[in-house]
Structure 1
């Protein structure tokens, strides 16, 4: 079967290639063999290949942590999916291969009437946004939520999910007009630019500031956002797409009585040394069922902006790093590029 193989840490163009490798032969009791049709590309993909992510796969390895496809075989204890089902899944790595064995706890059945490419956008971006907002920050009616990096996959997901909560004000911050317009189409009431963030947020919140900041960007933008966070506000640290981990001035956190939440979605899906995927499996299955239902009812509008060929992984990563992408990109693994 075909797969994208990474043979060493380094620049993706130098260390990855499409190769022919052996197909999986063994499926454990609590595992699922999946024919992978499409898989997403994210900033984390590049970090994993470069050796700058939390995980360190043994060489050679196949990147890719999220995909959609068809179940070929299930282990003896698996009951929630069966051969022939369309599923989305999260894996430690390996999604850029035509077949993959995945732990059953992070495999989720897709409703027959839902476009699989819409389902593909849900597990990581929408899952991260949902669990961060609801499980970690415990968002409630009346909150004002500032979403940084609102044109990204996880940013747009946070905008859409926050907009579902009654009486919540969603303020989207994005780097260009196209991304700000996309955020407005996805449910934000307001869209602001990073250059005038403080004065715009203060004006939109009648001088109070945002009660919750959702930040997948990091860098100087986080430091700026602290100055327009409301007293007693909450700051969700989702990631560092800017490439810079900021040094937070704790005096601001002190005088504003802020709560700063570090948030790692990987805790719920087995990406920590403790591997707690089974502990959170029921909660994750319920959350994903809710997201899939919301997508089916068109309460949210997940989707893939563009599907590229397997040989275009590096082009996809370049586009992401150049901030030229609104939403999410995917690779056609056992399917067609669009």
Structure 2
């Protein structure tokens, strides 16, 4: 089968498309023919060997995919041949086929196509659990979303709006802010053209209830200063490449809560509730994932580069299978 392969750690351009053996299927596993894979910032870090979990080379990058079940390893695995599924893993998604454990899979909600399902996994689940269970956003709350045009950020804008919040989106270009406005943001700040602290104070004189931060770097402190007393600051990641240093006196004086997001930290009952609510939002079309760019498998390195350079608006997808349902590298009969 064809797959994008990282033979040695380094820049996105080190990833090349090759023929590799088809992965074997073991009992309890599921084989998925991948239609689309999504590119996430951690994929770039894994390729560079800068992620918190190291993956030895050679390996197939990619942490998120959607496709069709083609084989199951035994009975009662919860999936059947022909099921539309979406899945996640640390690596392996940029390939014609993925073999995975069932715990990493879920059925694609009715009402959403497989392409959009690939864009709705990690980013939308991260954003929704962060908003619902960590930031505990309520209707009428004002929230600030950093990186408001990126994968997690734009998802947080749309989902925050769906939860009834007033959303202020902070991004690095007018194009990204235009996308955030389309998804419901009522306040828009280009942090490269305006002072973030001053702009947030003007838009939110009473302060924000929560900040969602997948960016880090120099944006975090002014965003934290915009919180009202008792506000929640949720850190999700550091797409800027820099981990911020927060003056703790701000936390003390304003009674702010600084919270980190991890899927495993969400209480089981809330996790189940959140997943059900998110499936309803996606399946009903109340929230539609934004695909900002799509690349064929042969251009997996370019897709990774787009994300690495911060040029992605919403989700970047890799189209693995062609319009006839074939691996683009498979000769037509």
State if a TM-score over 0.5 links the two structures.
yes
Matches for 1:206-217 after TM superposition, within 5 Å: 207-217=205-215
CA distance in 2, matches of 1:10, 1:174: 27
How far is 1:41 from its partner? 1.1
Q: Deviations over 1:234-265 (max 9, x none)?
A: 10101111111111111111111111011134
**Map 1:103-252 → 2, pairs under 5 A:** 103-111=101-109, 113-166=111-164, 168-194=165-191, 195-205=194-204, 207-252=205-250
Specify whether residues 257 and 94 from structure 1 end up closer, same or farther in structure 2 by C-alpha distance, changes over 3 A only: same
Cα–Cα, structure 1 residues 75 and 283, in superposed 2: closer, same or farther, change >3 Å? farther
- Give the drift of 1:286: 5.7
Equivalents in 1 of 2:38, 2:50: separation in Å?
19
Contact 1:180–1:192 (Cα < 8 Å) also in 2: yes
Q: Aligned partners of 2:116, 2:47: CA distance in 1, in Å?
A: 26
The more displaced of 156-165 and 79-88 is 79-88
Compute the displacement of 1:20 (Å). 1.2
8 Å CA contact retained: 2:10, 2:48: yes
Q: Residues 33 and 97 of structure 2 are in contact (CA less than 8 Å); yes or no, is this contact kept in structure 1? A: yes
- The Cα RMSD (Å) is 2.2
SS of aligned partner of 2:121:
helix
Task: State the 1:36 CA deviation.
Answer: 0.9
Q: What's 2:318 paired with? A: 331
The whole-number CA distance in structure 2 between the counterparts of 1:85 and 1:257 is: 48
Q: Which moved more, 1:41-50 or 1:319-328?
A: 319-328
Match of 1:18 in 2: 17
* Displacement after TM superposition at 1:12 (Å): 2.6
For 2:286 and 2:195, how far apart are their aligned partners in 1?
Answer: 31
SS in 1 for 2:291: coil
In the TM superposition, residue 112 of structure 1 has moved relative to its aligned partner by 5.0
Counterpart Cα distance in 2 of 1:203 and 1:99: 51
Deviation at 1:326, TM superposition (A): 1.1
The question of 1:309 aligning with 2:296 is answered yes
Distance in 2 between the 1:155 and 1:63 partners?
23
Give CA-to-partner distance per residue, 1:195-226, whole Å, 9 cap, x none.
23222322222x22211000011000002212
Deviations 1:59-91 (A, max 9, x none): 221110100110012233645421101111112
Partner secondary structure for residue 98 of structure 2: strand
Structure 1's consecutive aligned runs of 4 or more residues displaced over 3 angstroms after TM superposition are: 75-80, 282-290
> Is 117-126 or 78-87 further displaced after alignment?
78-87
**Is 2:133–2:270's contact at 8 Å kept on the other side of the alignment?**
no
Whether the 8 Å contact between 2:40 and 2:63 is mirrored in structure 1 is no
Alignment size in residue pairs: 322
Encode CA deviations 1:290-310: one digit per residue, 9 max, x unaligned: 333322321101132222122
Following the alignment from structure 2 to structure 1, what is the Cα–Cα distance between the partners of residues 137 and 224? 18
Shift of 1:177: 1.3
Q: TM-score, normalized by length of structure 1?
A: 0.88
Taking a change above 3 Å as real, the CA distance of residues 290 and 145 of structure 1, as seen in their structure-2 partners, is: same
- Give the structure 2 partner of residue 46 of structure 1: 44
Quote how far apart the aligned CAs of 1:7 are: 2.0
Q: Does 1:96 align with 2:94?
A: yes
Match of 1:62 among 39, 60, 63: 60
Deviations 1:85-107 (A, max 9, x none): 11111122100111111121221
Tell me: CA distance 1:78–1:46, structure 2 relative to 1, closer, same or farther (3 Å). farther
Unaligned runs of 5+ in 2: 329-333
| Structure 1: stretches of 5+ with no match in the other structure | 269-275
